[in-house]
Each structure stands twice: as C-alpha cells, then as structure tokens.
Structure 1
C-alpha cells in the first residue's frame, strides 16, 4: 500500500509542478488546463530526463528522475513568477484543480484495486511491455538498449514506457509494481483529461445552461471513453444463458459465439465447449470470453479503451490516450484564440511554442500512428483561427509561418530517438477486401457515433439551412477525394477490378454511411467555425473520427500482417483514435439532449434511444470485470511478480538475483523464444538485462521484415543454439564469447528447447554462481574471456 500511495503522490506532485505551464498553454480553458496537468507534467519531465540521459548528464536510477521532476518544478516557478495573471488564475480555478485531482485520485485507486486481482504480468504482449519498462529503468546509456537484441538500441515508440519508468523511479517501487500502477496512472490521467476537454467545450457551447450541462458532458465523456464498449455484451450474455436467435447473431456477424452446428468441421469458428463451461453464475464464466470483443470486425483488431484497460497491456495505443487528449486540448484552445497565429507569435511566445513542439513531437515518440492525425488537427485549428481574420492566402502563409517552425522543432527535439527508429511499415496501399458490414460496424462503434450524432442534431436545429448549403458543396470534397484517390491507387497495384468486385453491398453501405456522417459533421463544423462558434470543435472531432473510419475502409498501411490480415493494424489504430475523438463529441452530444430551448421535446425523444444504446454499451464491462477478476476473489497484490513468486519460486529468485548481482550492461544468454510466450525472453523482460535474441517476430516488426534482418536474427539464434548444444568446454566458451556474453541461464525454457544440453560441459567451462531448484546461472570466467579474445 505504501508503494501505491507513493506512486499517487508522485503523479500529483508532477501534475502540480506543471500547473503554471498549463496556465500558459491552455489559458483559454475554463480550468486553465488543470485537468491536463498529470499528462503535461509527465510528458515534460520524461522528455527532460530522456534528453539529459542522452547527453550523458544523468545516470540511470532514481536520482535522475527526481532531478528531472525538480527541473520541471523550477521551470514552473519561473513561469509563475513571469506570469502576472498566475495568482488570479490560480484563485479562479482552484476549486476546479481540486476537483480534477479528486477525479484522478478516485480513478487511480479504483483501477489499482481492480488490477490487484489480476496483477500477473504475462500473456499477450505484457512480457514485451515489461521488457521496455525495465529497459527504461536500467539501461546504462541512452537511447536505451533493446534487452531482446543485445548491443542494439531500442527501435520502437517507447515514450509511454519512459513515462511509466519516471513514475516508478519517483515512487521508488520495483518495475513489477510500477507496471500495474503505471496502468492505473494512465487510466486516471485519461479520466481527468477527457473530463477537462469535454467540460471546456460544453462550457463554451452551453453558456446559458453551463452549470447543469457541463458536469453532464464531462461525466458522459468519461463513461464513453473508459467504460462504454462494443455492443457485443448482450450477445455474450444471451449465449452464455442459451437464450439466442441464430439469425440475429448471423446478421450481426457474431455467430462464432454460438455453439458449433453438428456438422461443423474442425475449421469452423464457433464455440466448442459445453454449456456448463460458459457460465455457472449471472455473468459468463468462460475463460476470457471478453477477448472476442476485440475481434468484432472480421480480420481486424477492434480494441476500445475499456478492453485495453481490462486486458492490461501497457502498450503505446493505451498509454498515449492522455497525450492525445492533451493534443486535442491544444487544438481546441488554439481555435478559441482571439489573435491569429504567425511567425510573429513564435517570437513573442517562444516558451509556449517550445512546449507545444515537445507535446506534438511526443505524439510520434509515444505512438507513431497518432502524430499525423493530431499534429495535423492542430495545424487545421491554427488555419481556422487565421481564416477568421484574413483571406485564404494570407491565412495559409501565417499558418505555415507558425506551425512550420514548431513542427521542425518537434523533429529536432526527438532526433535522438528518430535516428534509431526503424519500422516495418511499407507505405499506403488500397484496401480491396469485402469491407465492414454495417451491422458489424454499428456493433463496434454504435455507442460513441450515436452519441456524437446528438450534437449534430442539436446544431442542425439552430443553423439556418442557407448557411449549410453554402458550405456543403465544399465539405463534400472531404469524403469524395479519398474515394477518387483510392481508384487510381488500386488500378496502379492492379487491384481495381478486385476491389470493386470484392466489396459487397454491406461494405458499400458502410462506406456511404461513414462518408455521409463525415460530410454532415464537417459541413456543420466549417459553418460554425467561420463564426468562431465553439460547437465547431466537437463537430470537427466527430467529423475527423468518422473520416478515420471511412479512410480505413479504403486504405491500409502495409505491414508484416499484409499477407494474412492486411488491414489488421490500420482498423485497430485508426479506430482507437476515432473512439477517443467520439468520446468528447459524444459527451457533449449527450449533454445537448438536456439543453433548454425551443426544441427541448425533440431532445427528450432522442434521449430514449440514446439511453438504450448506452445501456447496451455498458453490458460488456459489467460482465467482463467479474470474469477478469474472478469476481474479486483470491489474493490481491499490485506486484506483477506475486504469482510468479508463489508458483515458480526458482524463477522469482532468478529475477531477484539478476537484479542484485548482474550489471545492467552485461549480456545474459537465455533461450530464444516465439512471440507471445510468457516465459520466453523472461530474463530480458523481467530484468531489462540484454539477451542475444528474445521474441524473433517482434524484432522483425520493430526493425523491418527484410532479408537482411531475417538473416541477422537467424544467425544470432544459431549462435545461442551453439551455446546450449556445445559438447566440449572449448566449443562452449567459443560460443559464449562470440555473443560477448557474461552469463548463461539454464532453466525450464532452456531445458525444453535444448533437451540435450550438457550440464557437465557447463560445469567444466563456466562458473556456477546461482542455483535454486532447477534454475542455474553460470558466469563466464574472466580467464576464459581473456584467453579467447
């Protein structure tokens, strides 16, 4: 419990240190950015730590993290002293700052309590996430090393792991605890941030009824972002209790939940267990039934934030949620600016522009998929401000003069990471598959899209039709242009005929619906933006969200999955971005249903179906939480190694010994592993020590699926094979020295992969320095290294 409290206090201290900077960046916000200080402070302090480590000013350890936070606090004090309005702003927003700290606190401790009942770090990609967290903590040099590819720097967008490491160091807890509390901090930061953004937009829109509607918008946004889910929950519950209709399940594309038909072959995707295995309670007790909620649309990943927090992978798409919300806040605040933005603005506000550059650059460093979307949105917000005060040409020149230097600064600021970053992405390709059936799309995104449409309906009753008609022809180009680009791109790849033929009627209907909703939202947004009306912000968020979904129906980013499930990651990443945008727009939209006005009765009528859909969206979390936690039974712990200590004390002792006795720069040989193995690559994952090769497929994802990379990684695997297959001391020493290794681990994974490993040869050539149960660690004698070098 002390570790949990230390983590919470550390997060709030970092947030408090960033408060003066938030006042400068987000002064237009009603709360002056108070709800966004947890993420702002963590981004700025983590970036400071990263740069100082890269410049060899700091060494690894807790002291460097504390110094980075101290520097943030010092900058905050300087900014506060230079800001003549700081005291007045602090007095004005003080109660709101306390409120957002309360939201953060409730969310943090609630999630930490939830996570304590399934705290084990294993399965899916959690070993990889722990590996990067440990790399941030123990790497003797920065940029950090890759524990699964000794001698190489990390090649991934790892800023989220660095932020978790910052909090872990500040709190003084081990990585196995910091992992789980890092998840809690992301959850809490997301709750506070989305409430802040939604509340700000609602306050700007509902000026005459803000006391009543602002809390509604903020609360609804929290629910839509962190709790609302796919509508699949009701189908899972009905199937578990055998009250189903096969035609209905087939219509929504979820017949795989139903029991297999008697004549179903072995390849059929259906439920093969008995009824007794599905549930013995009011909720489905089938093991991980909720996993199917992440595969609603065939051939894709359809995660949403609640699923991600339920699963517990400390992955970039999850850790980036608060940062994305911060970027959205910057765009919204910029749109509300009274003054145009140009190069002169940079000369007058250099500190603010530098801070904005660090935030926008962090989008790529934390989750590379986000940078184009949300840095692009910031540029559009600047252009919108400038267009209100200048003709198009002059506004464009001013926009370039302002955003160009900021984006260039962002690139320069993150060069130490960019120079080591490689990707397996192979460019933009046309999607020529069947498309998403409309009912499957509704099952996945029905709740947030429907909620956002409430705002569109509210605005439509308040804007003269003539204003819409003047803008609509220009806004139509937004959905039409991607379609016009898709056709020649598909023809260039020789896929136009396949693309036109493969997309079924359902796929075209989905495309048309998304295009129409995008058109309507952006028409309304552009109409209101010309007047400087705040509703344009929420409508632009909604329009961008459906545009992302629309784009995922036409294009894909080619990656290592292209040959099997080509748009797996494209739908996943863009759909996730869309969910965040729709949570804000939907929160404001749900509040609009309660707005007073001449069409109040219409709002009340719309509230009924909206409430029904939202209720359906909350069934999934209601069922999934007790399933994931075992109905909150059993032992609870925030230590991700608690189960390891109980179930495999030898491996747990290995972790403790390596942490205590082995230098962070040492290379430790362990068995190579397939990806997604909880025990594979466990030395690199659990300790951050460098190992020759860990998860092969993931290294290919991070560094590119080229012949040269495959050959290099296979060669390393063969070198490791030589270590464990050696039959003479000389061969063993030669193999170990070829890897420049200092230690060799022999445990269950090694004995399983190399059953013929000779312990006699190990004993003769190496020094046994650790033995607990069936786990051994051998050190390479210094004399042996010298004699073969």
Structure 2
C-alpha cells in the first residue's frame, strides 16, 4: 500500500485495492506471521481483550486439524439432518410398523450419541428432532386433533426414551461438575463482531424475511383506516413498547439482542401466524430460529465452573453454523427463484451486496489455506509432504535437520520421539498404561498418549481436571507429583511400587524426560533392566534415541 501511494500520489487510496490484488495474484505476501491469517479468524469477538471467546467455524476446524469431539460429531450432524429431512418427505406415521421401529431405533442411536460424544449438541438436536417428528405427523392429519396429538406424543416418547436408554450406561457412570449454568456478567458480543461471524447468513435469511413480510405489511397499511380504534391503540402501544425494550437492551450492551428482537418478532410471525407457507419455507424459518437462539443464549448464560465463556460461545456457534448454513442455502434458493420479479432498484443493489459478502467470505479459505500450509515448524523449510499428521516431528524432508522443540531453553530433538511413537502404534495392542514426562498445558508433555491414544498415568493437566471435576484438584496435583517422583527417585523399590500401583506396562525416556528429570533417577531404569524388572523394546538407552521400556515383572 505504501509503495502504491508513492507511485500514484494522485490516488493514494487505491493502495488498498492494489495491495489486495497483489496478494490475490501472489505478487506479494500478507504482512505478519502465518498464523495471524488463519488462526485469528477464530477469535473475532472482542479480539485481543480479556473476554475474547473462541468463535470457531467448520472450515477452521478442519484447517486447524485439532481432533476434538466437535469435529468428530460433524459426521453425525449429517446423519441427524438426513433423518429429519426423510421425515418431511415420508412421515413416520405413514410407514409400516417394521419401518417405524427401524427408523426410530436408527434415529435414537444417532441423536443419543451426542450425549456421549459431544453433550453440547444433545439437547438442541434432540429438541429439533422432536419438532420435526411432531410437525411431520401433524402435516398428515392422521385423525382428529386429540388423536393426532396422542400419535405425536407416542412417537416422541418412544424416540426420546430410546435415545436416552441406548446411552444410559455411559450417562449413568459419567459424572461431572459441569452440570449447571449461571448468568454471564462479562463483556457482551458487539454487533459488528457478530456480523463478521454470521453476516452472510444473516443477510440472506433477513432478506427472505423482509421479502415475505413486506406484502403483509403493505396490506395491513392499506387496511389501517378500517381498523377499530382499540386495535390501532394496541398496535401503537406495541410499537412503542418494542422501541423502548430495544433501547433498553442496547443501553444494557446487549447489541446482538437488539437486532435479535426484531428478527425474532419476524420469525415468530412467519412460523406461527402466516398461512400458506411451503415446507421449504417453514424448514428455513425453524432451522434459522434454532441457530439464532443458540447464538443469543451465550449472551446471557455460561457453563458454571468453566473458563469464561469460551467454550459456551465455541460450542453453540459451531452448531449454529450448520443451522445457519442449511437455512441460508434454502433461503437463497427461494430468493433467487423469484428475483426476476423484483424491481431493478432492489435486485441490483441486493445482488451487489450479496456478491461482496460471498467474496469476503471466500477470502478466508483462499488466503488462510495457504498460510496454514506455510505455518511449519520453526527453522524447517522443506517438511515432508505426506498425510501423516505426525511427520512434523521429522524436520526436513531430506533428514538434513531434525525438528527441535524449545522446552524452556532446553532443545529437544523430537524426531527421536517420532520413531518411538510409530513403534508403539505398530507393535502395542490393547490399552496398556504408559508413563511419560508431564508438563504444563501447550508444551511437549503427554506426546505419546496424544499420538497413540494409550492411557497414561497422568494426561493433559487441565483436561484431566475437567474430566474428573468432582474430585478435589489436589488429587490431580498429587498424581503429577508422583510422576515426577517416579522419574527422579533412585529407589528401585519405590519405582516398583509405583509401577504396580498404576499397572504401568511401558515407560518412556526421551529428550523430554532427560531435560526435566534428574539424570541419577533415570539411571535406575538400566538397573531395573539388569535385574529383569524391565526390558528395552525400543531404543538403546542412550541420548541418541527415545527409549521405551516394557515392564516384565510387577
């Protein structure tokens, strides 16, 4: 931009467009580090402030590649939406009994799985399934109103009962402190930040909402002189109340809710009062309403005991993306189908705004994908090109330089861990307990349990505390201290007792353990090999390798 301003003093503002074009065409690189252009997009709300929550979205989830439950359950989203769509096409009460039973059982397996895999999804999806199930039956009118309600109730009870029953062994034994919500008193989402996240979907659906409501508003305006005086007074009072409430909401810093108030009024009218709508329209309103309510929910409540509202926003937003994505796609179909009937003064500006929003949205996958690929291990210029997600540990593809991890000033050659991890993946069966060095969060600790999935004596500190939230945190601290004592002690008998206590089968000693624990304590493992308590199954017990010991006697 600066160069453009120097070369074209008559039009310095053109630098923004020229610089943007140079980036798009590859003539220049984006300023800043690589992660800024893909990672920061997941923190657009109150960016850089104390209450900045995570606002992850599906493309970022897969681009970042963090194997969390919210990623794994996305496949089940597709199954859940597919089942609900099938009901709209072929209502369950029109099926034969074997088909009904099979359909309910399949749905219960899919929707019930959220209770075990990603609890945040369970109640919203269960509620949507109940709405879809009831609505699909209601549309067929199998009998008088009372009989129809009984039919709906019977199917709903059967579906919910099966969904809960199928996963009751898990829910019965899984206990956590995170079972309640409290009011959120921290910073609220600015409207501008909210629109950065959901602006495209909001524009499309609100456009359809305005289009569908405009005709009714015009008719009401024409009939206004014929309304009774009392009706006019009630309408005016309602409008004044809406204005006062929206002003109060804005002054209370609930900016998103002020916009939401008008949207919810419009959605409520479309869903509950407007007649003659197609199934496609109703599906659009319902999906968008649920997604929108989820995003409003995080402005008021937060999970008790959690870290701020990061997880609350993160989980609700990632789910809302799917509701918004499907509903906005349906809305866009409905809008484009009738756009030829719009006057040009409305259609042309609308298309221009839509195009700009689409281009802006597509700029992220276009720019961020390359930046994510380029965001490699420090000082590694030519990493291996492979689908192996652990290959970053190898360093340069030609093995000219290993990947080095700076552990508080101590260099760790993590390429040695790569070979040891691959050995365990290829040769260890079942779920034997391992022990490895432990560190604070976001360090190199727990790398074997992370990469192999094997249980370790102690895992990631904060996650372990979350998963055992009903326990006193001192238990976790004690376990971490025990791991350190195990590696540091020179007492062979104390080491044997620790191994027996936690049923340890494999012991890891690599650069991390050599950097964090006493050398004298690590020498005991060779003594335990000599007396037959341990056997070396990988490595050579030198500083040139990561050594894996297998427990032979306990």
TM-score normalized by the length of structure 2: 0.76
What is the Cα deviation at residue 733 of structure 1?
Answer: 2.1
CA distance in 2: counterparts of 1:321 and 1:573, whole angstroms: 12
Match of 2:489 in 1: 726
Match of 1:712 in 2: 475
Q: Is the 8 A contact 1:650 1:774 kept in 2?
A: yes
Q: Is the 8 A contact 1:438 1:509 kept in 2?
A: yes
CA distance in 2: counterparts of 1:690 and 1:575, whole angstroms: 31
Counterparts of 1:610-759 in structure 2, within 5 Å, are 610-630=354-374, 634=382, 635-646=384-395, 647=402, 648-677=414-443, 679-704=444-469, 706=470, 708-759=471-522
Match of 2:524 in 1: 761
What is the Cα deviation at residue 695 of structure 1?
Answer: 0.6
Q: Is the 8 A contact 1:328 1:374 kept in 2?
A: no
Q: Which runs of 5+ in 2 are unaligned?
A: 7-25, 224-233, 396-401, 403-413
Identify which of 309, 314, 330 aligns with 2:67. Answer: 314
Secondary structure of the corresponding residue to residue 778 of structure 1:
strand
What is the Cα deviation at residue 337 of structure 1?
Answer: 4.6
Aligned pair in 2 of structure 1 residues 466, 365: CA closer, same or farther (>3 Å)?
farther
Identify which of 33, 39, 46 aligns with 1:291. Answer: 39
What is the Cα deviation at residue 554 of structure 1?
Answer: 1.8
Match of 1:512 in 2: 258
Match of 1:63 in 2: none
Match of 1:492 in 2: none
Identify which of 301, 320, 329 aligns with 1:555. Answer: 301
Match of 2:329 in 1: 587
Secondary structure of the corresponding residue to residue 254 of structure 2:
helix
Counterparts of 1:319-718 in structure 2, within 5 Å, are 319-337=72-90, 349-388=100-139, 389=141, 394-461=147-214, 505=251, 507-527=253-273, 533-561=279-307, 565=308, 567-596=309-338, 598-599=341-342, 601=344, 602-630=346-374, 634=382, 635-646=384-395, 647=402, 648-677=414-443, 679-704=444-469, 706=470, 708-718=471-481
Q: Which runs of 5+ in 1 are unaligned?
A: 1-237, 244-278, 485-499
For each residue in 1:147-204, what CA deviation from the matched residue of structure 2 results, as whole angstroms up to 9, or x when unmatched? xxxxxxxxxxxxxxxxxxxxxxxxxxxxxxxxxxxxxxxxxxxxxxxxxxxxxxxxxx
Match of 2:14 in 1: none
Runs of 4+ in structure 1 over 6 Å off: 238-243, 464-469
Aligned pair in 2 of structure 1 residues 517, 391: CA closer, same or farther (>3 Å)?
farther
Q: Is the 8 A contact 1:730 1:765 kept in 2?
A: no
Structure with the larger RCO, 1 or 2 (CA within 8 Å, 6+ apart) = 1
For each residue in 1:615-649, what CA deviation from the matched residue of structure 2 results, as whole angstroms up to 9, or x when unmatched? 22222222212211129984421011222234344
What is the Cα deviation at residue 392 of structure 1?
Answer: 6.4
Aligned pair in 2 of structure 1 residues 759, 355: CA closer, same or farther (>3 Å)?
closer
Secondary structure of the corresponding residue to residue 742 of structure 1:
strand
Q: Is the 8 A contact 2:34 2:374 kept in 1?
A: no
Q: Is the 8 A contact 1:295 1:302 kept in 2?
A: yes
What is the Cα deviation at residue 380 of structure 1?
Answer: 1.3
What is the Cα deviation at residue 376 of structure 1?
Answer: 0.4
What count of residue pairs does the alignment treat as equivalent? 475
Aligned pair in 2 of structure 1 residues 600, 310: CA closer, same or farther (>3 Å)?
farther
CA distance in 2: counterparts of 1:362 and 1:338, whole angstroms: 23
CA distance in 1: counterparts of 2:477 and 2:283, whole angstroms: 51
Aligned pair in 2 of structure 1 residues 552, 239: CA closer, same or farther (>3 Å)?
farther
What is the Cα deviation at residue 373 of structure 1?
Answer: 0.8
Aligned pair in 2 of structure 1 residues 548, 760: CA closer, same or farther (>3 Å)?
closer
Q: Is the 8 A contact 1:683 1:689 kept in 2?
A: yes
TM-score normalized by the length of structure 1: 0.55
Aligned pair in 2 of structure 1 residues 760, 555: CA closer, same or farther (>3 Å)?
closer
Secondary structure of the corresponding residue to residue 607 of structure 1:
helix
CA distance in 2: counterparts of 1:591 and 1:354, whole angstroms: 33
Aligned pair in 2 of structure 1 residues 777, 282: CA closer, same or farther (>3 Å)?
closer
What is the Cα deviation at residue 531 of structure 1?
Answer: 5.1
For each residue in 1:552-593, what CA deviation from the matched residue of structure 2 results, as whole angstroms up to 9, or x when unmatched? 2122222431xxx2x211111111222111111222233334
What is the Cα deviation at residue 288 of structure 1?
Answer: 0.3
What is the Cα deviation at residue 310 of structure 1?
Answer: 1.6
Q: Is the 8 A contact 1:288 1:628 kept in 2?
A: yes
Secondary structure of the corresponding residue to residue 547 of structure 2:
strand
Counterparts of 1:17-36 in structure 2, within 5 Å, are none
What is the Cα deviation at residue 667 of structure 1?
Answer: 2.2
What is the Cα deviation at residue 369 of structure 1?
Answer: 0.9
CA distance in 1: counterparts of 2:98 and 2:3, whole angstroms: 63
CA distance in 2: counterparts of 1:506 and 1:612, whole angstroms: 32
CA distance in 1: counterparts of 2:183 and 2:129, whole angstroms: 27
Secondary structure of the corresponding residue to residue 758 of structure 1:
helix
What is the Cα deviation at residue 544 of structure 1?
Answer: 1.6
CA distance in 1: counterparts of 2:5 and 2:490, whole angstroms: 59
Aligned pair in 2 of structure 1 residues 644, 340: CA closer, same or farther (>3 Å)?
same
What is the Cα deviation at residue 427 of structure 1?
Answer: 0.6
What is the Cα deviation at residue 442 of structure 1?
Answer: 1.5
CA distance in 2: counterparts of 1:350 and 1:529, whole angstroms: 33
Q: Is the 8 A contact 2:34 2:375 kept in 1?
A: no
Secondary structure of the corresponding residue to residue 34 of structure 2:
coil
CA distance in 2: counterparts of 1:455 and 1:362, whole angstroms: 34
What is the Cα deviation at residue 697 of structure 1?
Answer: 0.8
